[in-house]
Chains A and B, each alone.
Chain A
Amino acid sequence: MECLIGITGKDFVLMASDNLAAHSIIAIKHDTQKQFELSDKMVMAVCGDSGDMVNYAEYIQKNLKLYEMIHGYKLTPNAAANFSRKVLAKALRSNPYQVNLLLGGVEDCGTPSLYFMDYLASMTKEKFAAHGYGSFFILSTMDRYYKDDMTRDEALDLLKLCIKEVQSRFIVNLNSFSVKFIGKEGITVLENIPGSGTVHKDVPREAIHPELISRA
């Protein structure tokens, strides 16, 4: 029921993830952060089992930080992706992590890369990728409209088109997505698309408990 999207452009990666945390049929949280910053130019977006998501992402995050401390330099996105895959593959036959992820990063020279990884630890480098049921809609939209070397505005427009498609045709309501640009200058957090998740959109304000109003 979750959705992750990644698009690479000329010298940036655009990552988006939905903000919904659900347990079975109940939506627990509308402002979950599913994107973890692995370094100042790398982001990992995860979806899947909620405990494994945080456990795995933080494990990778801290190990990359440790590597930087020991060796004095950061790992490239390619190396980080292969490291992440190795951790997933090693755990697969004993204690598997149920996480699907997208790892997007930009090297110091500006070359962007996006890695798609399955919970089974199969990995590919892609120009655009998506996870979840939304991927069935998103990949078709991207196949039609994606072109190489897009500018940031074009990529953002394409992303908005994909999200619109998901919100229109996917039965689960994903009403807000967190968006991040990763470029040479670092990670830029954009405003959520379409807006912060509203909890009780059509319920009159008077009917809402005062403590919930700040969220509505």
Chain B
Amino acid sequence: MSILEYNGASIVAMKGKNCVAIASDKRLGIRFQTVSTDFQKIFPMGKKLYIGLPGLATDVMTFANELKFHTNLYQLQENRELTPKTFLSMVSNFLYKRRFGPYFVEPVIAGLDPTTDEPFIASTDLIGCPMVTDALSCPARAWSSCTVCVRLCTSLTRAQMSCSSASPSVS
């Protein structure tokens, strides 16, 4: 069992027509023992920007706190909200800073541009390699559910989904 699967997580993001959806499980486990069924893994970083953090729970909490701190600072300095693309660069930078002692999280970002409302989804690996997909979903790490997620997603998504059909698809 790798360190990224110690606590277990499954996060999926999907893009539709003028909308994005992001979903996560709520389990916190220690190896095979379930400790909590109410653990938050998706964090809001703006009115229309969310980041899902699967991976080691301690790093999920630490990284989310750090990101929130820096996004708040950005908003105070620039007097505007972060665009999802800039946020992706920020996340990628923070993760690569710890290249040789990384945070064990593999973030999934989903959001709408604050001014144009254009949908945006992306994910990175644990050292910050950014992957922006025009494809319809970004599944991420989980104990044995990764391959299942990918196959389910590819079969359930369609181009230009509206909001109402995206929500049941992502669940």
Residue numbers of A with Cβ under 8 A of B are: 85, 88-89, 92-93, 116, 118, 120-124, 126, 129, 135-136, 139
Contact = CB atoms under 8 A, between A and B. Distances in A.
B30 A85 contact: no
A122 B61 CA distance: 7
Interface of B: 7, 28, 30, 33, 35-36, 38-39, 56-58, 60-62, 101
Contacts of A85: 61
Contacts of A118: 30, 57-58
Contacts of A135: 33
Given A89-B61, A116-B36, A136-B33, 19 more contacts: A89-B62, A93-B101, A116-B35, A118-B30, A118-B57, A120-B56, A121-B61, A122-B56, A122-B57, A122-B58, A122-B60, A122-B61, A123-B61, A124-B28, A124-B35, A124-B36, A124-B39, A126-B36, A139-B33
25 contacts: A85-B61, A89-B58, A89-B61, A92-B58, A93-B101, A116-B36, A118-B30, A118-B57, A120-B57, A121-B58, A121-B61, A121-B62, A122-B7, A122-B28, A122-B56, A122-B57, A122-B58, A124-B28, A124-B35, A124-B36, A126-B35, A126-B36, A135-B33, A136-B33, A139-B33
Which 8 pairs show the lowest CB-CB distances between chains A and B? Answer: A122-B57, A124-B36, A121-B58, A120-B58, A122-B58, A89-B62, A124-B28, A124-B39
A138 B42 CA distance: 30
Contact of A129 (B35, B61, B62): B35
A123 B58 CA distance: 7
A89 B65 CA distance: 12
A56 B38 CA distance: 27
A78 to B, nearest CB: 14
B30 to A, nearest CB: 7
Contacts of B35: 116, 124, 126, 129
Contacts of A93: 101
A101 B37 CA distance: 19
A89 B104 CA distance: 13
Residue from A118, A129, A136 with most neighbouring chain B CB atoms (10 Å): A118
B107 to A, nearest CB: 17
Contacts of B61: 85, 89, 121-123
